[in-house]
Amino acid sequence: MISLEFLNAFKFQTKDSFIHNLDPRSKLIFSIVYSICALMFTEIVPLLLLFLSLIPVVIVGKMTKEWYKSVRGLSFLIIIIIVLNTLFISLSYAIAMIFRILIMITSFSIFFLTVHPNDLALSLISMKVPYEFAFSFSLAFRFVPTIAIEAQHIIDAQQSRGYRMKESGIVNQIKNLFPLLVPLIVCSIKRAFNVAEALESRAFGSTKDRTYYYTIKYQFKDWIFTVYVLILLMVVVIVRIFFNFMPEFIIWSFPV
């Protein structure tokens, strides 16, 4: 079944790196642009080049281990994509879709691994997102590691009762999701009610004029990073428009 290790991609890691020190808004633009670029292509080579361009960012951000765990956790999903797309479309399309998913997962992993939940809320508020929505999004971001730990506890509890959670076969693995998802959803709903009661007891939303412990500001390095991302977007759009006129290696694909 799909490993819970992929949730490591959404757990903030406190580290000192160039990527960690960037403004959250520049990293949000980075993640969105890379996802848009990935959606522009269904060919292998352009998606492979985009994916390779993300590797140095992962290395500079000192998040190689966490990124590898998140990708390894999705190995079951990757196998399904290869099998289904190869059977019904083509092998080239299947590999291209894998690179597309890897690009989107990696780009947003870079964002979530390097942005503190508090900074995430501040960046959304600075972008004129209503405080209630910004708070809700950052709160959901905070609970991702908690849900992952709780899911692992449920798996351990089910296995201690003799339930086989890791049977082979796609049908069995899909069937094994239900003993995990049902208690996990129930626990998540209970936690949501507890959080709502805690917010009400603290008069959340009673005042519109809020002050913050600190603020975030765009610096020179953030502008440089943003310009690089926007130039990349322009290049990708140009390549997409004139794709049929590109060199043969760009439009290469498997014969099947």
Q: Where are the domains positioned within the chain?
A: 1-115+219-256, 130-204
Q: What is the pLDDT of residues 143-186, one digit of tens each?
A: 777 777 787 788 788 778 777 766 666 666 667 777 778 888 88
For the chain, what percent of residues have pLDDT higher than 90? 20
The pair of structure tokens assigned to 142 is 């905070």
Tokens describing residue 116: 């503190």
Whole-model pTM: value is 0.79
Q: What per-residue confidence (pLDDT) applies to 31?
A: 93
As to burial, measured by CB atoms within 10 angstroms (0-12 exposed, 13-18 middle, 19+ buried), residue 118 is: middle
Query: Residue 195: what pLDDT?
Result: 83
DSSP for the chain, written as a single string: ---GGGGGGGS-----STTTTS-HHHHHHHHHHHHHHHHT--SHHHHHHHHHHHHHHHHHTT-HHHHHHHHHHTHHHHHHHHHHHHHHT-HHHHHHHHHHHHHHHHHHHHHHHHS-HHHHHHHHHHTT--HHHHHHHHHHHHHHHHHHHHHHHHHHHHHHTT--SS-SSHHHHHHTTHHHHHHHHHHHHHHHHHHHHHHHHTTTTS-S----S------HHHHHHHHHHHHHHHHHHHHHHTGGGS-TTTT-----
Q: Does the pLDDT at position 225 exceed 70?
A: yes
71-94 tens-digit pLDDT: 777 777 778 888 887 788 888 888
The angle subtended at Cα 224 by Cα 223 and Cα 226, nearest 5°, is 60
Residue 228 CA to residue 235 CA, distance in Å, equals 11
Q: What is the pLDDT of residue 50?
A: 93
Position 253 scores a pLDDT of 67
The Cα 223–Cα 220 span in angstroms is: 5
- pLDDT given for residue 227 in this prediction: 95
The predicted-structure confidence for 1-40, as pLDDT tens digits, reads as follows 555 556 666 777 788 889 988 988 899 999 999 999 999 9
Residue-wise pLDDT tens digits, 106-152: 898 888 888 888 888 888 887 788 877 888 877 877 777 777 778 77
Q: How far apart are CA 210 and CA 195, in angstroms?
A: 20
pLDDT at 202 over 70: yes
